[in-house]
A = this chain, B = another copy of it.
Amino acid sequence: MQPAFEAEFVAGLKEIFEERIVFNRLIGLRIDAVAAEGVSGHLPMRHELIGHYAHQRLHGGVISAGLDAMGGLAVMAAIGARHLDEPPAQRLQRFGKLGTIDLRIDYLRPAVGERFALHAEVLRLGSRVATTRMELRGAQDRLFATGAAAYIVS
């Protein structure tokens, strides 16, 4: 069990992922929980996010963007836990070196609903590469999509 993060660190990550990554703001990504063991967030449905007009379902690109962002956030949380000795501001600067290497998304079911829950966890954090696993769920915890991604971290 990892210790909880300082409010300053969590607020800093929220600002980065919700506001400063402009495209995340465009899709409306909201962060709900940040821990070394995993991170959670959600996406409210909006007309602009529709992919297939005939089915009113969430665009696959919104799903991949949201899951990629959550994977990156999970890596930042794991890095944060590894460097608890550093002040929060210094830990947040490590985001400048984070980059997605590659991403796979499996679209299991049409993502229809008013709100989508996102979750990500780090499977391995190395000194140079981190690997994550992500999920997007709808009402009744129904699994809509899963993802896997690799990130460069140093």
Interface residues in A, total, Cβ within 8 A: 49
Please name all residues of chain B whose beta carbon is closer than 8 Å to the beta carbon of A148 when the two chains form the complex. Answer: 102, 104, 106, 146, 148
Check A81 for interface membership: any CB of B closer than 8 A.
Answer: no
CB contacts (< 8 Å) of A133 on chain B: these are 146
- In chain A, positions 92-111 with a C-beta closer than 8 Å to chain B are 96, 99-110
A152: chain B residues within 8 A (beta carbon): 128-129
Interface 9-residue window, one of A4-12, A61-69, A83-91: A61-69
- Residues in A lying within 8 Å of B, measured CB to CB: 20-24, 26-27, 47-54, 59-62, 64-66, 68-69, 96, 99-110, 123-124, 128-129, 131, 133, 143, 146, 148, 150, 152, 154
